[in-house]
C-alpha cells in the first residue's frame, strides 16, 4: 500500500509516468569536444579527519595534494549516517526518505523497486554514451570493494568493473569504493603496515570521549586507516596520470557518511553526517580553493550529470553545487540555506531521527526519545571498544558530565546547538529562552520538509522489508 502511496505522491508532485521517458534531446551526447570522465571515490565511514582539514596527528599527503589542485569543501554532509541509506540516496539523487529506501539494509528480499520516475544516475550516463564502472581493479596494489549496498532491487547498475573495459574514446563514469576506513579485522595490523603510524598520545579526542588509553588507541587506529586509504588514493591518481587521463577526468573524493565511532556513524551529530569532499577538474576548476557553502551528498548526482552535458531530470532533489560561467570555468554555487539528514532503522535498532543544519545551527528531533543512545546494536557491541569502556567508566562515576550525556536513559525530544560556539554539539539550547525564535524556525523547516517530500519514515516498516536476521533480532522470532 505504501508503494502505491509513494507513487501517488510523486505523481502529485509532477513526477509521474509522463516524466519517465528519457528523450534523446535530454543528452549532449553529440556535443562537440571531449566530454570529461568522472571518477567518484567513496571512502567508507570517514569524517573530514584529514590533514588538509587541519586535523593533528594524521598525515594525508595525497589527498592534501588533490585538495590543493581543486576545491576542498568544508561543509559537505550526507543525507543519512549509515552506508546503505546514504549510498541509495546518492545513486538516485533523491532523499532516501522520499523513495522509501531509508531503513538500513532493507528491501533485500522483497523485490522493492524504485518508484517512477526515479532512476539510478548510471542509467542517464549510459544513455548519453558513457561507460559506467563500479571499479574493483583500482590500481596496482589497490582493490575497489565493488560495494553498492542499495536498498532496492536493481538490474545492472554498472556496465563493468574497470574503465579500461570501455570502447576506445568512450567517456566513463566510475564509482570506486575504498573499504579500508570501514571497521573490520583489517584494522588490527595497520600500525605494522605504515611507515608513519599515528601516535595515540598525539591524537586530539572529542570532549565527549574519555581520555583513556583504549580511546586513544582506537582513535589512532581509525586515523591509521585513513593514512592507508590516502596511500591508495595516491596510487589511483597515479594510474590516471600514467594512462594520460588526469587532464580530462573530474575526480570527486568523499566519505559515504561519518566516522565509525560512538556518537558518529548512525547518529545525526556532525560526526555521523559531516564528510570530506574534494573536487579536482584541471583547466575547469581553479586550484587551491576552499569553499564553506553547504553541500548535500545528493547534490553530487545532479552536478556530475550537468558536468557531463546531461540535463539533470527535474525530479532530482539534489542541486547543482557547481556552475559554469561563459568562459567555461566552473565555480561553487551557494544553493543551500540548510541541509536535511535522516536516520531510521539501523540493523535491528529501530529509531527515527531528523536534523536540520545551517552554517550556524543544528536542530535534531528525536521521534523516539524514550530509546537511549546505547540501545542494543549487535554491530556496535562487537566492533566499538569505546562503548564498553564508557559503560564501565560510567558505572564507576568516572565520566565527565559531557561524556555521561551519551549514557542517559532517554534522549531529549529536541536538540539545538550553536555550532559556531559549540562545534562538538554538547550544549543543548532547546530550552534556552534566548533561542526560542531559532528553535521555532528550525522546527518549521523540518515540518515543511517532511510534508513536502512525503517523508516515508513516518510510516511503520513492513516486516517483509527487513532481512531475516534483523527481523529475528527485532521480533524475537
Phi-psi region of 85 (alpha: psi -120 to 50; beta: other; left: phi over 0): alpha
- Is 332 in the same domain as 353? no
- The answer to whether residues 317 and 177 belong to one domain is yes
Question: What pLDDT does residue 476 have?
Answer: 85
Whether residue 270 contacts residue 362, with contact meaning beta carbons closer than 8 Å, is answered with yes
Give yes or no: residues 304 and 406 share one domain. Answer: no
Residue burial 397-416, b: 16+ Cβ < 10 Å; e: rest: eebeeebebbeeeebeebbb
State the pLDDT at residue 29: 39
Say if residue 285 is in the same domain as residue 332: yes
Facing residues of 79 across strands?
none
Q: How many CB atoms lie within 10 A of CB 435?
A: 16
Residues 269 and 349 both lie in one domain: no
The pLDDT assigned to 415 comes to 98
Q: What confidence score (pLDDT) does residue 276 get?
A: 98
Q: Is-contact 312 306, C-beta < 8 A?
A: yes
* Shared-domain flag, residues 328 and 357: no
| Count of CB atoms situated within 10 Å of the CB of 471 | 15
Query: What is the domain extent for residue 6?
Result: 2-337
pLDDT at position 28: 44
Q: What is the CATH number of the domain that holds 186?
A: 3.40.720.10
CB 96 within 8 A of CB 80: yes
288 Ramachandran zone, left/alpha/beta (phi>0; psi -120 to 50): left
Q: Which residues of the chain fall short of a pLDDT of 50?
A: 1, 4, 12-32
- Of 307, 337, 367, which residue is a domain's last? 337
Residue 469's CATH number: 3.30.1120.10
Can you tell me the distance from the alpha carbon of 271 to that of 253, in angstroms, rounded to the nearest whole number?
18
Give the end of a domain, one of 337, 371, 397. 337
Q: Do 308 and 351 share a domain, yes or no?
A: no
Q: What is the rounded distance in angstroms from the CA atom of residue 389 to the CA atom of residue 387? A: 5
Same domain, 327 and 344: no
ω into 411 cis (within 30 of 0): no
pLDDT value at position 454? Answer: 98
Task: Give the tens place of pLDDT for each residue, 335-391.
Answer: 999 999 999 999 999 999 999 999 999 999 999 999 999 999 999 999 999 999 999
Strands (E) across 236-310 are located at 249-255, 274-280, 289-296
Q: What is the DSSP string of 58-76?
A: ---HHHHHHHHTSEEEEEE
Tens digit of each residue's pLDDT (9 = 90 or more) over 111-166: 999 999 999 999 999 999 999 999 999 999 999 999 999 999 999 999 999 999 99
pLDDT at 33: 52
Q: Do both 92 and 162 map to the same domain? A: yes
Is residue 313 located within the same domain as residue 462?
A: no
The burial class, CB within 10 Å (0-12 / 13-18 / 19+), for 467 is: middle
C-alpha cell at 254: 568523499
Question: Other C-beta atoms within 10 Å of 108: how many?
Answer: 17
pTM metric for this prediction: 0.94
- What total number of domains does the chain contain? 2
Do 197 and 103 share a structural domain?
Answer: yes
d(CA 284, CA 279): 11
Other beta carbons less than 10 A from residue 253's beta carbon? 27
Question: Are residues 345 and 333 part of one domain?
Answer: no
Q: Who contacts 84 (Cβ-Cβ below 8 Å, separation ≥6)?
A: 104, 105, 106, 149, 150, 151
Q: What is the C-alpha separation between 87 and 78, in angstroms, rounded? A: 9
Give the model's pLDDT for residue 328.
Answer: 86
Q: Look at residues 276, 308, 337 and tell me which one is the last residue of a structural domain.
A: 337
pLDDT at 8: 56
Q: Which three cell numbers stand for residue 363?
A: 536542530
Amino acid at each position: 500500500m505504501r508503494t502505491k502511496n509513494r507513487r501517488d505522491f510523486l505523481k502529485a508532485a509532477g513526477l509521474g509516468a509522463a516524466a519517465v521517458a528519457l528523450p534523446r534531446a535530454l543528452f549532449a551526447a553529440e556535443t562537440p569536444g571531449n566530454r570529461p570522465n568522472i571518477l567518484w571515490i567513496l571512502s567508507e565511514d570517514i569524517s573530514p579527519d584529514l590533514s588538509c582539514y587541519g586535523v593533528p596527528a594524521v598525515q594525508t599527503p595525497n589527498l592534501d595534494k588533490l585538495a590543493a589542485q581543486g576545491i576542498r569543501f568544508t561543509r559537505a554532509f550526507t543525507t543519512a549516517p549509515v552506508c546503505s541509506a546514504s549510498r541509495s540516496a546518492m545513486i538516485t539523487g533523491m532523499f532516501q526518505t522520499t523513495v522509501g529506501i531509508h531503513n538500513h539494509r532493507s528491501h533485500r528480499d522483497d523485490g522493492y523497486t524504485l518508484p517512477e520516475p526515479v532512476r539510478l544516475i548510471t542509467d542517464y550516463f549510459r544513455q548519453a554514451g558513457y561507460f559506467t564502472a563500479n571499479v574493483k581493479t583500482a590500481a596496482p596494489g589497490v582493490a575497489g570493494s565493488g560495494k553498492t549496498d542499495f536498498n532496492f532491487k536493481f538490474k545492472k547498475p554498472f556496465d563493468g568493473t574497470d574503465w579500461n573495459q570501455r570502447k576506445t574514446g568512450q567517456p566513463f563514469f566510475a564509482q570506486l569504493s575504498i573499504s579500508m576506513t570501514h571497521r573490520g579485522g583489517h584494522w588490527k595490523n595497520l600500525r605494522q603496515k605504515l611507515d608513519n603510524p599515528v601516535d595515540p598520545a598525539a591524537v586530539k579526542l572529542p570532549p565527549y570521549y574519555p581520555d583513556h588509553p583504549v580511546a586513544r588507541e582506537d582513535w589512532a587506529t581509525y586515523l591509521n586507516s585513513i593514512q592507508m586509504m590516502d596511500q591508495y588514493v595516491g596510487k589511483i591518481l597515479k594510474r590516471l596520470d600514467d594512462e594520460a587521463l588526469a587532464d580530462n577526468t573530474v575526480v570527486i573524493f568523499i566519505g559515504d557518511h561519518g566516522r565509525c565511532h560512538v556518537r558518529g556513524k548512525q547518529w545525526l551529530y556532525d560526526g555521523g553526517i559531516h564528510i570530506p569532499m574534494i573536487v579536482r577538474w584541471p583547466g575547469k576548476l581553479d586550484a587551491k580553493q576552499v569553499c564553506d557553502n553547504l553541500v548535500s551528498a545528493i547534490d553530487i548526482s545532479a552536478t556530475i550529470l550537468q558536468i557531463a552535458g546531461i540535463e539533470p531530470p527535474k525530479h532530482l532533489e539534489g542541486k547543482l553545487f557547481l556552475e559554469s560561467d561563459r568562459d567555461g570555468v566552473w565555480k561553487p554555487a551557494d544553493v543551500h540555506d540548510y541541509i536535511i539528514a535522516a536516520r531510521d532503522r539501523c540493523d535491528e535498532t529501530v529509531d527515527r531521527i531528523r536534523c536540520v543544519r545551517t552554517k550556524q545551527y543544528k536542530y535534531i528531533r528525536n521521534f523516539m526519545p524514550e530509546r537511549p543512545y546505547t540501545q542494543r546494536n549487535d554491530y556496535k557491541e562487537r566492533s566499538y571498544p569505546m562503548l564498553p569502556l564508557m559503560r564501565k567508566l560510567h558505572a564507576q562515576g568516572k565520566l565527565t558530565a559531557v561524556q555521561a550525556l551519551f549514557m542517559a536513559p532517554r534522549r531529549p525530544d529536541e536538540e539545538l546547538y550553536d555550532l559556531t560556539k559549540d562545534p562538538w554539539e554538547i550544549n543543548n539550547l532547546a530550552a534556552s529562552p534566548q533561542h526560542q525564535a531559532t528553535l521555532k524556525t528550525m522546527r518549521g523547516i523540518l515540518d515543511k520538509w517532511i510534508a513536502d517530500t512525503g517523508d516515508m519514515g513516518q510510516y511503520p516498516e513492513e516486516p517483509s522489508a527487513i532481512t531475516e536476521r534483523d527481523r529475528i533480532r527485532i521480533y524475537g522470532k
